[in-house]
Amino acid sequence: MLGMDITLFPATVLGTVSVPSSKSQTIRALLLSSFSRSHCLIKNPLLSRDTQSCIDVCKALGARLKVSDSLIEVDSADLGKGLEEVTLDCGNSATTMLLATPLVASLGIRATFTGDESLLSRPVGPLLRALSALGAKVEAKDPELPPYTIEGPLKGGKATIFCKTSQYLSGLLMGCPLAQGACILDVPLLYEKPYVRITEDYLKAFGAVYSRQSDLQRFEIPGSQAFKAADIRINGDFSSASFFFCAAAITGSRVTVKGLDSHDPQGDKGILRILTAMGCKVSWKADQVTVSAGPRLLGGTFDLNAMPDTLPALAVTACYASEPVNLINVPQARLKETDRIAVMQKALSSMGASISELNDGLAIRPAGPLSGGRVNSLKDHRIAMAFAIASLRCKTDLTIEDAQVVDITYPSFFKTLESIKEVHNADN
């Protein structure tokens, strides 16, 4: 539940952890399984607040889901049957909302999408305009923000969409195969390309066909397709793992994370390349990766466009670098649960960091250990986890307000972090 504060103390970390499965992959699997109108198995899913929101949406549309710790069984033969109008509460999950909207538009029902206060601030205008161009009816009090109502069917046609979040394109790629006619998507701007490649892997698994340019700027998608049944196993989540990689880097220690796939297209895997450039050693063995800190953390300029969710953790890590660090080309970080660029700048400055906002990122200069004190997560799960990592090297204890927001993607995060803490030590 929200409202829980947690106080953490300086410590070193050393050990091995397992991280949850990928949220991005679990939600794609849930939606495509539900729209396959067949029987599918999702193995090793993430069970969190965001994925529960997606499960609730699928159930509201008529899919039957049987959920256990390690398996979700989906029977969607009756998807949409008897439905004329439905309200879909996506909670805090923008991934659910943006990926589900084009799929629901293909059903020919009237569906209203809504969610919590944070979700209602997430921009949706480019996606809604694209769906309107493809024949769906769209109603919204504010054409840029939820809540909104969409009514299908998707008829097909041509749409141009600028994707400051890749979720716009991923949603369209999932929904357009179910349109009545062929769809052509022109994409002059696309951030976070690795997430689109995850979507492509899942579309292939469910039998969708399309053609595209190699630069992902144009897609041609035949209509009147049907997704086939598929059994999917979800990989470990690099976004969650990134906090433990950074914990090793800032404490001068070593952490191993199990359950990861070195060939996975997840964009946040790129944090390993950045930490290597900052002087850490990264080694793979089967499905586990070990990050070992070097003698000091180096600086540099790092492009986070493909991995925006790593910005909070890397901002904290950069505070302990011996040289300046610039985190750039990630303007979409301002469009997440919070404006993560502004939030991290303000909070880290209050803790003694030398950090300034860029239009598209952050510039951090060496300034010594952070002071500790009290910070507010602003109900952003990645902000809460980033400050948990910051606490390891603070001069004093650090209290994180609304810390339980980590339930959105990583319910056991604090328990896992405590499991590898070695020596509490306020002498930094």
Active site positions, annotated: 309
User: Cβ(149)–Cβ(129) under 8 Å?
Assistant: no
CB burial readout 34-55, b (16+ within 10 A) else e? bbbbbebbbebbbbbbbbbbbb
CA-to-CA distance for 119 and 112, rounded, in angstroms? Answer: 14
Alpha-carbon torsion 362, 325, 379, 238, what sign? positive
User: Angle at CA 32, nearest 5°, toward 27 and 36?
Assistant: 150
Between the CA of residue 75 and those of 35, 64, 141, 229, what are the distances in Å? 10, 5, 35, 10
Element (H, E) at 221: strand 218-221
Q: Say which residue the tokens 């964009």 belong to.
A: 267
CA-to-CA distance for 71 and 68, rounded, in angstroms? Answer: 5
Q: Is 5 helix (H, G, I), strand (E, B) or coil?
A: coil
Looking at this protein, which amino acid is placed at residue 214?
S
Scanning 252-397, the segments in alpha helix (DSSP H) are: 271-277, 311-318, 340-350, 381-390
Closest CA to 160 of 196, 179, 181, 132: 132
- Residue 59 CB neighbour total at 10 angstroms: 12
Q: Say which residue the tokens 């790129």 belong to.
A: 270
User: Cβ(298)–Cβ(320) under 8 Å?
Assistant: no
Q: Is 21 helix (H, G, I), strand (E, B) or coil?
A: strand
What is the crossing angle of helices 166-175 and 94-105, to 10°?
30
Residue 350 tokens read as: 């209050």
User: Cβ(417)–Cβ(388) under 8 Å?
Assistant: yes
